[in-house]
Amino acid sequence: MNSIQLATFSNHAIYAALFVFTIAFFAHAFEVAWSVKNVEGSDSTVLDFSKTERAGRIGTAMMILGFFIVTIAVATRGLSAHRVPWGNMYEFSITGAFTLCAAYLFSLSKWKLRWLGLPVSFFTLLTLGTAITVLYRPSEQLVPALKSPWLAVHVSAAIISGGVFLVANLVAATYLWMEVIEKKGERPVWAKKIPSLESLDQLSYRLIAFVFPLWTFAVIAGAIWAESAWGKYWSWDPKETWAFITWVAYAAYLHARVTVGWRGRRAAWLCIFAGSTFLFNYIYVNIWGTGLHTYSGL
C-alpha cells in the first residue's frame, strides 16, 4: 500500500473501532443494568448474572477487538507518514485512546476490573469520536522542530502516563461515588460487584506509583529534546509549566499518602485534582495556549 492508501486504511480502522467500542459500551451498560432483578411479590432485589455474564464477556471481547483495531489504526497512520504517529493532536488522541485501552486491559487481566469497562469504553469513544471529527488532519510530514528521535520517546511516555492517569482518576471517582452510596447504608445490588472502598483506594495509589516514574521520565525527555531543538532545556512555556504542575501534584499525592498518611476521600480528591491538571494541559494548552508547543494548527 502507498502512503495515501495507508492513511485511508487507518481512518477506516478508526471508524471500525468506533463501531466496536459502541457495542462494548452497550454490552457493559447492559451488564450493569440488567444484573438487578426484582423479586416477585416483594420490594427487594437480587443479582442474577445468568444473562448478564454473557453481556459482560461480550463487552470484554469487544474491548479487546477494539484495542487491536486501534493498534492497527495507529500503526498504519505512522507507516503512512513514515514516522511515529505523534505529530498533531489528532494523532495524540488516537494514540491516547490506544493507551487508555491498554491500561484498562492490563488492569483487567491483573485485578478483574470489568466494571471499569463502562467508563473506559465511554471515554475511548469520546476521544476517538472527537479525534476523527474535530481534530482530524491529513497525514503529513513533520515540521523540522519535531523531527527528532526524542519525539517517539517523549510523546510515547507522556501518552502512556496520560492513559494510566485517566484510569486512576476513574478509579478514584468510583471510590468517591461508592463512598457516598455507602454512607446511606448498604450498597445496592448493582454496586456489589465493584471492589471494596479499601481496594479502590489501594488501586488508584498503585496505578499512580506505577506511572509516576514514567511521567517523570516523560518530562525529562521533553527537556532533553527542548535542549536539542530550542537551545534551552526549560523555558517555562505553558505546556512545560503544566507538565511541571502535574508532576508536582502527583508528587504531593504520593507524599500525602506515604508520609502524611492520607487515605480514602482526601487522597481520591487529590488524585482527581492531579489528573485534571494533565487533562487541562492536553486540552486547554494544546488548543488555546500560545507557546513553542503549539505548532501545525493543532
Partner 1 sequence: MDFIAIMRWGWRQLTSMRTALILLILLGVAAIPGSLFPQRSQNPQKVDQYFVSDPTLAHWMDRFKLFNVYASPWFSAIYLLLFISLIGCVLPRTIEHLKAIGKKPPLTPKNLDRMEGFRVAEQESDVALLNARAWFKKNHFRIRVDENSISAEKGYGRETGNLLFHLSLVLILIGVALGSLFGSKGEAIVNVGERFVNTPTSYDTLSFGKFQGQGSLVPFELKVTDFVAKYNASTSMPEDYTLTASVANPIGSPSKSISIKVNKPLTYGNTKIYLQANGYSPVVSIRDKSGVVTFHGPVIFLPQDANLSSIGAIKVPDMNPQIGFIASFLPTAKSSKTRGVFSSYPEVLNPELVISVWQGNLGLDSGNPQSVYELNTSHMKKIGLHALNLGDTYNFAVGSITFEGWKSWVNLQIVDDPGKMYALFGAIFAILGLLISLFTRQRRIWVKVGSRVEIAGLAKNGIPGLSEELDDLQRKVEQG
Provide the binding-site residues for partner 1, judged by CB under 8 A: 140-145, 147-148, 150, 202, 209-210, 212-213, 216-217, 220, 223-225, 227-238, 241-242, 244-245, 248-249, 251-252, 255-260, 277, 285, 289-291, 296
Residue type, 69: I
Contact pick of 181, 229, 254, 256 for ligand HEM (by CB under 6 A): 254
Options 50-58, 143-151, 238-246, 253-261: segment touching ligand HEM (CB under 6 A): 253-261
d(CA 162, CA 127): 13
Give every CB contact of residue 289 below 8 A, 6+ residues apart in sequence: 238, 239
**Residue whose C-alpha cell is 478508526:** 14
Residues 245 and 284: beta-carbon distance below 8 Å: no
Give the contact letters, 157-196, x = binds to ligand HEM (CB under 6 A), - = no. ----------------------------------------
d(CA 150, CA 135): 24
- Helices then strands, counting H and E runs in the chain, come out as 9, 2
User: Closest CB to partner 1 among 4 and 180?
Assistant: 4
* Residue 230 binds which of ligand HEM, partner 1, none (CB < 5-8 A, kind-dependent): partner 1
259 lines the binding site for ligand HEM (CB under 6 A):
yes
Options 68-76, 149-157, 233-241, 254-262: segment touching ligand HEM (CB under 6 A): 254-262
Residues 243 and 219: beta-carbon distance below 8 Å: yes
Residues 267 and 205: beta-carbon distance below 8 Å: yes
Residues 76 and 17: beta-carbon distance below 8 Å: no
User: Closest CB to partner 1 among 67 and 212?
Assistant: 212
Contact pick of 258, 260, 283, 287 for ligand HEM (by CB under 6 A): 258
Residues that bind ligand HEM (CB under 6 A): 212, 251, 254-255, 258-259
